[in-house]
């Protein structure tokens, strides 16, 4: 009898894990979100990554930290949002590190259509505003931006980015030796039907992989992002774990996604993630309770 009920549960689990995504529907806009200034903790400032926000609430549980490295503003929410919310709920210190500056010519064109004096720094600032609001929605303890708060510029190319990301992650592994390190699964996450991979995502994965091979970091999770395009799975092998998020964690993720939709020009919020960048990814991630994780052992550096 025990075996039969186990089989039954297993069948239900497999069925729910393989469920197809629902079609996108326009989600409700979230209420305006204001980012409060907070006191910066000088002891954790560094040349490599600058802390830009810190939750003042004291964490009394002595659990190991989880660090999430987002190559771009939005990756943390699209691919990892519910997992981040879960770790926060369980009482772990959770830190998010943004790796690049999000510079993008198309987004600059859009900002110039609002203000002809807009420059690329305004793109970074606008994207950082929604990124930070999303991180705060997720309930994280600290938010950092690499390259002393500037973020790295993608135009330096994959190899250079890989080196910069490696130094950045190394810095955090020294600062938090018992942390679990999380980033995107860049080598197994095609963004189109020609199986193209995003080189900046690959750079983040490769940097973490090198540190793993050199036994500098041990605990790692790689999250897929472009899998939420829903139609390009044939390019990539199945992921290591399909995680079915708890409703409460998924709801937190949805709130964070809504931060990428908020438009309020006086607060320098333009809904860039949703209306001018990756609408389908945010919409499909909003409607899916699943997150897709790869083990580092299954990753092959490219």
For Zn ion, the binding residues (CB under 5 A) are: 71-72, 75
Nearest-approach distance from CB 138 to Zn ion, in angstroms: 17
Give the list of residues 6+ apart from residue 109 with CB closer than 8 angstroms, or none.
none
Which residue lies nearer to Zn ion by CB, 72 or 253? 72
199 class by beta-carbon count within 10 Å (0-12 exposed, 13-18 middle, 19+ buried): middle
CB 48 within 8 A of CB 167: yes
Give the residue with the Cβ less far from Zn ion, 173 or 202.
202
Q: Contact 243/224 with Cβ under 8 angstroms?
A: no
And the tokens for 104?
Answer: 């993008």
Residue nearest to Zn ion (CB): 72
- Measured distance CA(290)–CA(30) in Å, rounded: 22
Write down the least CB distance from residue 79 to Zn ion, Å.
Answer: 9
Q: Which residue's CB is nearer to Zn ion, number 93 or number 102?
A: 102
Decide whether 92 or 127 has the Cβ nearer to Zn ion. 127
Cβ at position 228, least distance to Zn ion in Å: 12
| Least distance (Å) between residue 56 CB and Zn ion | 29
Distance of closest approach, residue 231 Cβ to Zn ion, in angstroms = 18
Name the token pair of 224.
């897929």
Minimum distance of Zn ion from residue 102's CB (angstroms)? 9
Contacts of 245-249 with CB under 8 Å at 24 or more apart are: 245/82, 245/83, 245/85, 245/86, 245/289, 245/290, 245/291, 246/82, 246/86, 247/289, 248/85, 248/89, 249/82, 249/83, 249/85, 249/86, 249/89
Nearer to Zn ion, 76 or 122 (CB): 76
Query: Quick one: 72 or 250, whose CB is closer to Zn ion?
Result: 72
């Amino acid at each position: 009898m025990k075996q039969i009920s186990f089989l039954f549960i297993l069948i239900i689990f497999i069925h729910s894990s393989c469920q197809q995504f629902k079609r996108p529907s326009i989600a409700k806009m979230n209420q305006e979100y204001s980012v409060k200034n907070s006191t910066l903790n000088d002891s954790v400032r560094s040349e490599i990554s600058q802390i830009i926000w810190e939750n003042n609430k004291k964490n009394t549980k002595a659990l190991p930290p989880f660090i999430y490295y987002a190559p771009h503003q939005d990756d943390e929410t699209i691919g990892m949002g519910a997992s981040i919310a879960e770790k926060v709920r369980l009482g772990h210190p959770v830190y998010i590190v943004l790796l690049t500056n999000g510079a993008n010519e198309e987004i600059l064109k859009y900002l110039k259509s609002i203000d002809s004096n807009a420059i690329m720094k305004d793109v970074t600032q606008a994207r950082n505003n929604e990124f930070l609001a999303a991180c705060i929605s997720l309930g994280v303890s600290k938010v950092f931006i690499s390259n002393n708060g500037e973020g790295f510029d993608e135009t330096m190319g994959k190899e250079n980015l890989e080196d910069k990301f490696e130094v950045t992650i190394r810095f955090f592994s020294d600062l938090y030796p018992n942390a679990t390190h999380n980033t995107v699964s860049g080598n197994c996450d095609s963004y189109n039907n020609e199986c193209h991979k995003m080189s900046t995502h690959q750079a983040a994965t490769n940097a973490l992989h090198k540190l793993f091979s050199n036994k500098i970091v041990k605990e790692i999770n790689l999250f897929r992002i472009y899998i939420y395009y829903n139609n390009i799975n044939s390019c990539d092998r199945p992921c290591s774990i399909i995680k079915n998020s708890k409703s409460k964690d998924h709801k937190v993720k949805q709130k964070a996604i809504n931060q990428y939709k908020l438009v309020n020009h006086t607060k320098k919020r333009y809904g860039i993630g949703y209306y001018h960048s990756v609408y389908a990814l945010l919409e499909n991630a909003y409607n899916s309770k699943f997150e897709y994780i790869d083990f580092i052992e299954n990753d092959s550096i490219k």
